Amino acid sequence: MFENSANWCIQESFFNGQKENYPQGIPRGLAMRAVLKLGGSLLYDKDGSVIVDRVKDYANIIKSLVKEGHSIIVVVGGGKPARTFIDAARSLGATEAQCDWLGIKLARDNAELLCAALGSIAYPTIVETLDELEVAVNLNKVVLMGGLIPAQSTNAVAAVAAETVRAEILFNATNVDGVYDRDPKKTGAVKLESVTIDKLRKILEAGGTKAGEYKLFDPVAIRVVERSKIPTIIFDGTDASNFSRAFRGEKIGTRVVYDNAKQR
């Protein structure tokens, strides 16, 4: 586990804007343990083909961060293939639990793509339980995960993973550039630079929780990050370089803040 005093300096630079950012890279000795939730939709184009270059871009950024001494856990979502399979299964009479398992398997397949791109720095198998995560995270490898159990989104998996390994920060790479005060497709929607956990809950509470329909966050993910006060940034992951920018402390996307509580 990393030294809290060192990491707190980085967190203040990310979240409070009162410390110097590190545009040339985080100084040696300030290594972090971070969880990246990579939306499955980011891996596919509109025709359902894998965007190979984007997978490579994320792999290269992760390799650079690992070389600097950071510990990275990546949770990959199911994306378009998962939704396609789930819709087909549902139309054939599958239960929501069966649909969930389809999504879990396809998310793990997506994680395998990134695992292949990372090569020897990746833990060799996709982690399927929290017990396995606790072992794998201490082996100096990039740990990759997909889904874990039915009725739990990969956003929730990422939040629970961050809590389990006491990650200093959770990055949520999506296909939108942050959290909006309403549906971003609606006229007048405003992107929020920061959002309290209560406001985020209210914005998202109208969303469904059927398999394959999880959006930016879901109720389980919100409860987990709230109870552990996990610093979280939601950002546009269609450009992989945004992950590097967010990691370096640039103001990008939307940060989740916690009222009257010190973030860990």
Read off the pLDDT of residues 204-250 as tens digits, 9 standing for 90 and up: 875 544 444 446 788 899 999 999 999 999 999 999 999 999 999 99
Total structural domains within the chain: 1
pLDDT-derived band at 2, boundaries 50, 70, 90: very low
Residue 7 counted as domain residue: no
Confidence of residue 80 (pLDDT cuts 50, 70, 90): confident
Asked if residue 130 belongs to a domain, the reply is yes
On whether residue 4 sits in a domain, the answer given is no
pLDDT at 219: 87
Matching residue, tokens 């586990």? 1
112 falls within a domain:
yes
Instruction: Flag whether pLDDT at 81 surpasses 70.
Output: yes
**CATH number (domain holding residue 60):** 3.40.1160.10
Q: What is the DSSP letter of 223?
A: H
The verdict on residue 5 lying in a domain is no
Residue with the bigger pLDDT between 131 and 26: it is 131
Calpha distance 259→229 (Å, rounded): 10
Report how far residue 258's alpha carbon sits from residue 224's, in angstroms, rounded to the nearest whole number: 13
Higher pLDDT, 195 or 183: 195
Structural domain includes residue 218: yes
* Residue 65 CA from chain centroid, whole number: 16
65 within a domain of the structure (yes/no): yes
Answer whether residue 178 is part of any domain.
yes
Q: What is the pTM of this model?
A: 0.85
For 69, the domain range is: 35-257
